[in-house]
Amino acid sequence: MIPNGLKLIFLNCALFLLALPMAQAQKAEIKGTVSSPQGPVVQANIVIESRQEGTLSDEKGRFNLQVEAGEYEVSAFSIGMTRQNRKVNVQPGQTVELNFFLQEDTESLNEVVVSGTLKEVRRSESPVPVEVYSARFFNKNPTPNLYEAVQNINGVRPQLNCNVCNTGDIHINGLEGPYTMVLIDGMPIVSGLSTVYGLMGIPKAMIERLEVVKGPASSLYGSEAVGGLINVITVMPDFAPVFSVDVMASSWQEYNADMGFKNRIGKNASVLTGINLFNYTNPIDNNGDNFTDVTLQERASIFQKWDLGQNNRIFTLAGRYFFEDRYGGEMQWTPEDRGGDQVYGESIITKRWELTGQYQLPFEDKVMLWASYNHHNQNSYYGNVGYFADQQIAFTQLTWEKDLNRHSLLAGAAFRYTYYDDNTPATSQPDHTLLPGIFVQDEIYLSERHKLLLGARYDYHSDHGPIFTPRLAHKWSMGNNSQLRLNAGTGFRVVNLFTEEHAALTGAREVVIAEELNPERSYNVNLNYIQKWYLEKAYLSLDGSVWYTHFSNQIIPDYDTDPNLIVYDNLDGYSVSRGVSLNLEAVLQSGISLRAGASYLDVFTAEEDESGNTVFRRPILTEEWTGTWAVSYNWYKTNLSFDYTGNLYGPMRLPLLGALDPRDEYSPWWSIQNIQVTWAPRSRNWELYGGVKNLLNFTPPANSIARAGDPFDNEVDFDAEGNAVSTANNPYALTFDPSYVYAPNQGIRGFLGFRYTFKGNTLPD
């Protein structure tokens, strides 16, 4: 028997539960999204004007308001955006959807960039064109590292240089990887190898945005910034989520995990920690050449950033440790075969430390001290050829900013010390290089619509002497929504072959340095035009550039003269990189957005032959046409979003091994395309995503590796001059060579991932 008292309690609870849905039915709901030309607006204010009640949009720009039935005026606004008001009549129990589209407020704040002028300026005010890509942009095609992610940026291409070890670099506007400088928070992570390693293993939780400058920037950044630069801007700890995690797996059994968490240390300090782990240990040989299609990798990276600033002064410290064990080669290879001559494998073990810091000195003017240090250790074997290298780079820079009437001055002094040692004959003893420099820059406000920038840098290289690099930039604001920028200047690059030309270390070709190498010089001019249209229900942007770069003393690896050699010397002539690029961006209030770009690249060398005739030649692995796109659709009612991304490349000249080589001299047109679906429930901190990469299942020819069955050339006959000769067993006179590579060997695959973010208190106390 149930006591009467308990019966009464049960009865009251039942009546309450029955009445609860009825009470909720009298409530109403207003939900929707807040977007802008740049995508979803995070932490936008959504306010009911008559009641001064509201909420904030989440990381997808979504919001949800519980209200009583009635008529309301709802406002959405955010810093740097125009305010938008909407009237709505909500019936009892009804859910009304409002989607706000906020336009940029030209009289308010807009995106701040630093890469073009070394100073924080509004992007629209910068006389140097800077392209900005947020972390959200890279989520449209999630990749295990930033090196692969930049394939969706027009004019930027990650290039594989070896079919076996999958080492690569990053091309900007058709120029080789050593011409691209990679920075983290403005600190140079220099040398060609670091172009790759600098972009690998940076946890996604640490990334706020990427800034890309195309064209020489040597007057501010010195050597290596000849083709352009990529500046990875990391999140300030105060504004980072308390905790975030992003895990992803593919049908090829690739596993990637990114984690980030922050802590408050005392009253004034905060620290953000990011961890990246990647594992791929599943050897696959779909093309049947007995070599791994993709290198096996185990990678770990930990990144920590401290914000110690007080009294509105900048003081940050950051450090990263990177470890990678990577292998590619014959399918039967084991670690016991490392360095042997029976089973071919390329095994690279990399350990890398990076330390960076910024400190604003306690002066009335803004005086910044910058410092960085990195130590790169590589232990590798390419077949039975060992390559053991140690590189250390210390960098410091002092900058001073001062505004005087119509002048905005920047002056600075920099010093870079490079230590390099390896086991090759080219380095009989450790190399010590000193590179001090001074620079000055003046932004002159000629009028409301015209701004002129004059800059110059003077460096003194301990081996090559003085180097002077001036530049000029002019910005003309033709209207509120159109801008024309002209940039011109010079650049220089001091070459260290064995840290940059990784293809030289494959063990398949001998390296020959024909003469003492002099610094490369370049002269560049770039014209950029931007036009924006703010329509009632859409935003459109057109960004076009024309550029011309002339090189003297350029160092280009010669694969053609002798198939067994890579010959390096200064070009006896000149080379040119010129072209046109166009970017289109469109955001529709319906939820559709498009970002697409195309580039025409005319890159060539000009050199006289023995008869005195000028011979024009296109460099190896340089495409003439390239295109990228990212099309997205947000289906707000179902919390689903769809992303279709891809790129298209024109033919590239490939390194053949002689007149009898049966492989094609030029690659075909090829494209890598991807699709992704993301489900992000409203009012939740997590999202689930998945899709398919390389939808067209494009892979290079199966014979990309020459003589894959004889990697040590045991069955190759050579003549007295060391050239392979045609025999019954080798009719095409080939030797083992993995440098015939222009695209990844990884075919179609599925992927699935999960993201979780706990924002907590993301603002300073």
Q: What digits encode the pLDDT tens for the residues 48-58?
A: 866 656 788 88
Q: Which among 82, 101, 120 is the end of a domain? A: 101
Q: For 69-80, how does the pLDDT look when each residue is reduced to its tens digit (9 = 90+)?
A: 888 888 887 755
Domain match, 264 and 412 both: yes
Please count the residues of the chain: 765
Q: What are the b/e assignments for 163-178, b being 16+ CB within 10 Å?
A: bbbbbbbbbbbbbbbb
pLDDT top residue among 134 and 562: 134
Q: Considering the domain boundaries, does residue 183 fall inside one? A: no
Determine the Cα–Cα distance for residues 28 and 672; give it in Å rounded to an integer: 46
**Tokens found for residue 195:** 């172009």
Q: Are 84 and 75 in contact (CB under 8 A)?
A: yes
Domain assignment present for residue 546? The answer is yes
Pick from 164-173, 182-191, 416-425, 682-691: least confident: 182-191
- Residue 241 and residue 94 in one domain: no
Q: Is the pTM of this model over 0.85?
A: no
The residue segments making up the domain with residue 91 are: 25-101
374 class by beta-carbon count within 10 Å (0-12 exposed, 13-18 middle, 19+ buried): buried
Tokens describing residue 189: 């992570």
Give the pLDDT of residue 736: 92
Q: Is the pLDDT of residue 597 over 70?
A: yes
- Report DSSP letters for 155-218, one per residue: TEEEEE--TTT--EEEEETTB-GGGEEEEETTEE--SHHHHHHTTSS--GGGEEEEEEEES--H
Give the model's pLDDT for residue 260. 93
Domain count within the chain: 2
Report yes or no: 624 and 601 within 8 Å, Cβ to Cβ.
yes
Residue 315's pLDDT band, with cuts at 50, 70 and 90, is very high
Q: Report pLDDT digits (tens) over 485-527.
A: 999 988 877 766 554 444 444 555 666 766 677 778 888 899 9
Question: Which range among 27-41, 211-225, 319-333, 631-645 has the greatest average pLDDT?
Answer: 319-333
Q: Over the stretch 444-459, which tens digit does the pLDDT of each residue have?
A: 999 989 999 999 999 9
- Read off the pLDDT of each residue in 189-197 and give the average, rounded to a whole number: 60
Domain for residue 448, yes or no?
A: yes
Are 133 and 143 contacting, i.e. CB atoms less than 8 angstroms apart? Answer: no
**Percent of residues, the chain, with pLDDT higher than 70:** 86
Burial class (CB in 10 A: 0-12, 13-18, 19+), 714: exposed
* 569 in a structural domain: yes
Percentage above 90 pLDDT, the chain:
44
Q: Name, in order, each residue with C-beta under 8 angstroms of 760's C-beta and a sequence gap of 6 or more.
A: 241, 242, 243
pLDDT confidence band for 40 (50 / 70 / 90)? confident
Domain termination residue (choose one: 85, 101, 117): 101
Calculate mean pLDDT across residues 120-149: 84
pLDDT at 105: 56
Beta strands in 517-572 (DSSP E): 520-534, 538-552, 565-568
Distance CA 522, CA 229 (A): 15
Interatomic CA distance for residues 628 and 582, integer angstroms: 11
Taking the C-alpha atoms of residue 522 and residue 529, their distance in angstroms, rounded to an integer, is: 23
In-domain check, residue 576: yes
pLDDT (0 to 100) of residue 9: 42
Residue 121 forms part of a structural domain: no
| Distance from C-alpha of 270 to C-alpha of 263, rounded to nearest angstrom | 6
What is the pLDDT averaged over residues 685-709?
A: 94
Assess whether pLDDT exceeds 90 at residue 202.
no
Under a CB-based contact definition with an 8 Å cutoff, are residues 376 and 191 in contact? yes
Say if residue 595's pLDDT is above 90.
yes
Q: 657-672, pLDDT tens digit by residue? A: 989 999 999 999 999 9
Over range 407-426, report the average pLDDT.
88
Residue 749 above 90 pLDDT?
yes
Q: Is residue 122 part of a domain?
A: no
Q: How far apart are CA 476 and CA 478, in angstroms?
A: 6
As a whole number of angstroms, the distance between CA 481 and CA 525 comes to 24
**Is residue 270 over pLDDT 70?**
yes
Domain CATH code at residue 258:
2.40.170.20
Tell me what the mean pLDDT of segment 259-264 comes to.
91
Tell me what the pLDDT averaged over the chain comes to.
84
Tokens of 347: 């095994």
Do residue 703 and residue 563 come from a single domain? yes
Name which of 427-436, 487-496, 582-591 the model is least confident about: 487-496
The answer to whether 583 touches 596, Cβ cutoff 8 Å, is: yes
Among 35, 66, 101, identify where a domain stops: 101
- 109 inside domain: no
The enclosing domain of 70 has a CATH number of 2.60.40.10
| Predicted confidence (pLDDT) per residue in 529-556, tens digit | 999 887 767 788 999 999 999 988 877 7
